[in-house]
Amino acid sequence: MSSNTMLQKMLLILISLSVVTWMIFIISQNFTKLWSALNLSISVHYWNNSAKSLFPKTSLIPLKPLTETELRIKEIIEKLDQQIPPRPFTHVNTTTSATHSTATILNPRDTYCRGDQLDILLEVRDHLGKRKQYGGDFLRARMSSPALMAGASGKVMDFNNGTYLVSFTLFWEGQVSLSLLLIHPSEGASALWRARNQGYDKIIYKGKFVNGTSHVFTECGLTLNSSAELCEYLDDRDQEAFYCMKPQHMPCEALTYMTTRNREVSYLTDKENSLFHRMAPGETSIAGNQVQSGS
């Protein structure tokens, strides 16, 4: 009886050892498969992250706050907007005329000393001889000495009422020549400033997208008036965006290079264009004089 019991116990022990060995084998096999799958998952995830970092993001990102330099530039542009207001006109005759304007030397003397300041009062009028009521004319004041081959610019102060104070510092001895030229009337300067601010679409940009052996050109620019899907290329430093229309079946990263050409467009009216026709020297010169400077 005891021998049978011993045999049964030994048989149970053998069966238990077989079951444990089989379970260890199964677990080790599953663990190997699980670790391989985990490795695969980690590798794919890492590759995806690496691939994303190779190409620019095309989604919109919130703009960063303006830097101190950008705020300064914005302030300067706003001041220019105030100093160059719109100056509409009905006829060229109502714009500034150099021929009809007058320049007067204030407190004239026969001779001046080197280092003295010479002031000129300028009153501008239109082509009908009527006094202008506002400023903004583009003037150039120059002083020169042909004998010394020297020259200097004068300082122009605009009183915004049709009068200007032009000041020259007499830097050297001898005879000097003074000239005061009207480069553009205030109406022309205003038209140029307006055209400058609205002329962002004067240049046509075309982007070439390449995918394998096929390539496509699409329209690009700083602003695109289109409802089509766009590719956005953002400058990380300046937060300035450039856009291209996204071609079908091609990613935004397929953009290779750009081509440009000028658009046949003018932001000036015919009347405004007439202000920039080349004139004879006498029609642009407001004043010309000679002054003697001594030691």
pLDDT of residue 18: 60
Residues 164 and 235 in one domain: no
Largest CA distance in the chain: 152
Cβ count within 10 A of residue 66: 12
Cβ count within 10 A of residue 182: 23
* Beta bridge partner(s), residue 214: 211
Look at residue 51 and tell me if it is in a domain: no
Residues 143 and 117 in one domain: yes
Task: Give the pair of three-digit tokens for residue 179.
Answer: 């000239």
| Type of residue found at 147 | A
- Each of the 295 residues of the chain gets a pLDDT tens digit; together they read 455 566 566 655 655 556 555 555 544 454 444 333 333 333 333 333 333 333 344 444 455 677 788 788 889 988 888 888 899 998 999 999 999 999 999 999 988 999 999 999 999 999 999 999 999 999 999 999 988 999 999 999 999 999 999 999 999 988 899 999 999 999 999 999 998 888 666 788 999 999 989 999 999 998 888 889 999 998 887 778 899 999 999 999 999 999 998 888 788 888 999 998 876 665 667 766 676 766 6
Residues 153 and 101 in one domain: yes
Instruction: State the burial class of residue 209 (Cβ atoms within 10 Å of its Cβ: 0-12, 13-18, 19+).
Output: buried
pTM exceeding the 0.85 threshold for the entire prediction: no
- Split into its structural domains, the chain has a count of 2
Residues 111 and 162 in one domain: yes
Residue with the two structure tokens 């079951």? 19
pLDDT of residue 198: 80
Look at residue 84 and tell me if it is in a domain: no
* Nearest residue to 160 via CA among 95, 83, 104: 83
Look at residue 75 and tell me if it is in a domain: no
Look at residue 77 and tell me if it is in a domain: no
Residues 108 and 178 in one domain: yes
Residue with the two structure tokens 């300082």? 155
Buried (b) or exposed (e) across 229-239, using 16+ Cβ within 10 A? ebbbbbeeeee
Q: Which domain holds residue 179?
A: 92-193+273-293
pLDDT of residue 126: 96
4 φ/ψ sector (left φ>0, alpha ψ -120 to 50, else beta): alpha
Look at residue 236 and tell me if it is in a domain: yes
Residues 179 and 131 in one domain: yes
Q: What ranges make up the beta strands (E) of the chain?
A: 96-105, 111-113, 117-126, 138-145, 150-153, 155-158, 163-169, 174-184, 203-211, 214-221, 230-234, 241-245, 255-262, 285-294
**Residue 254 vs residues 57, 119, 175, 216: alpha-carbon distances, Å:** 13, 63, 67, 10
What CATH number does residue 180 fall under?
Answer: 2.60.40.10
Look at residue 173 and tell me if it is in a domain: yes
pLDDT of residue 43: 33
Residues 166 and 132 in one domain: yes
Residues 206 and 130 in one domain: no
Residues 163 and 283 in one domain: yes
Residues 256 and 280 in one domain: no
pLDDT of residue 125: 97
Cβ count within 10 A of residue 126: 21
**Residue 85 vs residues 65, 117, 177, 191: alpha-carbon distances, Å:** 29, 31, 33, 9
Look at residue 113 and tell me if it is in a domain: yes
pLDDT of residue 23: 53
pLDDT of residue 44: 32
Residues 283 and 219 in one domain: no
Look at residue 87 and tell me if it is in a domain: no
Residues 117 and 219 in one domain: no
